[in-house]
């Protein structure tokens, strides 16, 4: 009887064993694939992260190199261009969207670097509220000065920063220097130029002010300027109260 049962059912037992073995093999293969897939996912994320880091390093390497030595041409290059405070105005309603343009003039002069400066509300660029001429020079101690000059009937020159050689019809003799309003700048460790006016010597009559002050920071991204006016008692009567305007570079 046992011989009969063994003879009849042994092939089926072999088939069952084969199926079990096959199932185990499939399970092991699937498990191994899942482990491989998860490792590949993590590896892919690592590769992606490495690519991002390399791209960031490449972008930084193409930025303007850190300024390590006081150089008037480097300072003038950072000051020239078109700038906007739009980003700041969108984040804080206490600030307006202002456009600032600075263009070099009188390139043949050797008594410093001269710049035409124009500032206007973004919606009224054709009617700037501030037009000046700056004379940037370097002192013997390596620091810098930026003298401020005014023009007669300045609105007739609105928009001349777009020209290749603006204000050719003017000369320093036709300008009026704003005595006491000179900005003093020094090269900081981070490669920026920082400084401002000194004391209460810059006169201002705007909104009942007696004097004005300016704080400035200039770097590769743009400028931060904080202009404020004070009355004779030292109370602020105009200008931003929370901090300076942040101008991001939008054009050369």
User: Are residue 154 and residue 95 in the same domain, yes or no?
Assistant: yes
pLDDT exceeds cutoff 70 at 5? no
Share of the chain above pLDDT 90, in %: 72
At residue 156, the pLDDT reads 96
User: Are residue 193 and residue 89 in the same domain, yes or no?
Assistant: yes
Confidence band for 69, pLDDT divided at 50, 70 and 90: confident
- Residue 132 sits in which domain range? 72-251
More confident residue, 86 or 63: 86
User: Are residue 39 and residue 87 in the same domain, yes or no?
Assistant: no
At residue 252, the pLDDT reads 86
pLDDT exceeds cutoff 70 at 181? yes
Structure tokens at 124: 């009224």
Q: Which of 31, 63, 95 corresponds to the end of one domain?
A: 63
Q: The CATH number of the domain where 123 resides is what?
A: 2.40.128.590
- Give the long-range contacts of residues 153-158, CB within 8 A, separation 24 or more: 154/128, 155/127, 155/128, 155/131, 157/116, 157/131, 158/118, 158/126, 158/127, 158/128, 158/131
Q: How confident is the prediction for the chain on average, in pLDDT?
A: 84
User: Are residue 108 and residue 57 in the same domain, yes or no?
Assistant: no
User: Are residue 177 and residue 214 in the same domain, yes or no?
Assistant: yes
pLDDT exceeds cutoff 70 at 18? no
More confident residue, 102 or 60: 102
Q: Looking up tokens 């020209």, which residue turns up?
A: 163
Q: pLDDT digits over 94-116, tens only?
A: 999 999 999 999 999 999 999 99
**∠90-94-98 over CA atoms, to 5°?**
65
Confidence band for 148, pLDDT divided at 50, 70 and 90: very high
Percentage helix, strand, coil for the chain under 3-state DSSP, each rounded to 5 = 35, 30, 35
Confidence band for 24, pLDDT divided at 50, 70 and 90: low
Q: Which of 29, 46, 63 corresponds to the end of one domain?
A: 63
User: Are residue 118 and residue 152 in the same domain, yes or no?
Assistant: yes
User: What does the alpha-carbon distance between residue 227 and residue 115 come to, in Å, rounded to a whole number?
Assistant: 19
Structure tokens at 91: 């984040």
User: Are residue 128 and residue 43 in the same domain, yes or no?
Assistant: no
User: What does the alpha-carbon distance between residue 35 and residue 29 come to, in Å, rounded to a whole number?
Assistant: 10
User: What does the alpha-carbon distance between residue 81 and residue 161 come to, in Å, rounded to a whole number?
Assistant: 9
pLDDT exceeds cutoff 60 at 23? no
User: Are residue 139 and residue 22 in the same domain, yes or no?
Assistant: no
At residue 47, the pLDDT reads 53
pLDDT exceeds cutoff 70 at 38? no
When divided into structural domains, the chain yields a total of 2
């Amino acid at each position: 009887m046992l011989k009969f049962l063994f003879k009849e059912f042994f092939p089926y037992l072999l088939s069952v064993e084969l199926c079990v073995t096959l199932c185990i093999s499939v399970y092991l293969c699937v498990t191994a694939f899942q482990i491989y897939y998860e490792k590949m996912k993590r590896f892919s994320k690592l590769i992606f992260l490495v690519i991002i880091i390399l791209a960031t390093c490449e972008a930084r390497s193409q930025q303007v190199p850190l300024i390590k030595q006081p150089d008037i041409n480097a300072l003038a290059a950072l000051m020239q261009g078109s700038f906007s405070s739009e980003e700041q105005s969108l984040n804080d309603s206490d600030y307006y969207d202002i456009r600032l343009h600075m263009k070099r003039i009188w390139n043949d002069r050797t008594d410093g670097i001269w710049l035409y400066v124009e500032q206007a509300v973004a919606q009224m660029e054709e009617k700037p509220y501030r037009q000046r001429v700056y004379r940037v020079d370097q002192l013997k101690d390596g620091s810098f000065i930026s003298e401020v000059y005014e023009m007669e009937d300045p609105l007739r020159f609105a928009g001349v920063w777009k020209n290749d050689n603006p204000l050719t019809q003017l000369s320093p003799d036709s300008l009026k220097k704003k005595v006491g309003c000179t900005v003093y700048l020094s090269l900081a460790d981070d490669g920026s130029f920082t400084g401002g006016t000194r004391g209460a010597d810059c006169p201002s009559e705007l909104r009942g002010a007696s004097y004005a002050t300016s704080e400035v920071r200039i770097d590769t991204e743009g400028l931060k300027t904080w202009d404020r006016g004070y009355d004779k008692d030292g109370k602020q009567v105009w200008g931003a109260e929370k901090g300076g305007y942040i101008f991001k570079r939008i054009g050369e």
